[in-house]
Amino acid sequence: MVASGVPAVPADWWERLAARSIEALVIGVFYYILFIAAWGLLRTVGLLDSFEGRLPGLFAWLVVGSGYAAYDCLAHYRRGRTFGKVIMKIRLAPAPGRALTRADLAKRAALYPGAMVLVGIPGVNLLAGILAFAVGLSILIDRPLQQGIHDKAAGSRVIKEAR
């Protein structure tokens, strides 16, 4: 139940996807800024060809991906939602009969979006793609709470804001 006494309604899959997509656009801008800065720095010091030219991208993705996972955990801990969820008017809530702790939110963020840090690592990036697909699929097929794998691990669910 939410504070107004109205039962909590799970957020639709498309609302969750839209919230993550909004965040991905902003995170992508930070990634490219950092990538260009790292590329310029490594080119200046003569290390651009290290790791077949993949070092700037790897560095940028590890920093930005880890930062996004940390932001995800902190935003959910402080306000129960990220800026994408604010725009979509959805929020994170504990599953019935649970309370969310910092450790739960860290576990949730480590599974997704934290595991997406693997996207920047050649050869391992396929695992990240499979995990992202599995998270999305689990949200679609889980009824009635529409929890993703990361939600189940943390004991959380994403609900619509009381309107």
What are 152-161's pLDDT values in tens digits?
A: 999 999 999 9
What are 10-27's pLDDT values in tens digits?
A: 999 999 999 999 999 999
Phi then psi for residue 10, to 5 deg, are -60, 145
**Distance (Å, whole) CA 30 – CA 26:** 7
Rounded to two decimals, the pTM is: 0.85
**Distance (Å, whole) CA 79 – CA 85:** 11
What are 74-120's pLDDT values in tens digits?
A: 999 999 999 999 999 999 999 888 899 999 999 999 999 888 888 77
**Distance (Å, whole) CA 154 – CA 150:** 6
Q: What is the pLDDT of residue 1?
A: 38
What are 30-43's pLDDT values in tens digits?
A: 988 988 888 888 77
Pairwise pLDDT comparison (48 vs 148), residue with the higher score? 148
Q: What is the pLDDT of residue 96?
A: 84
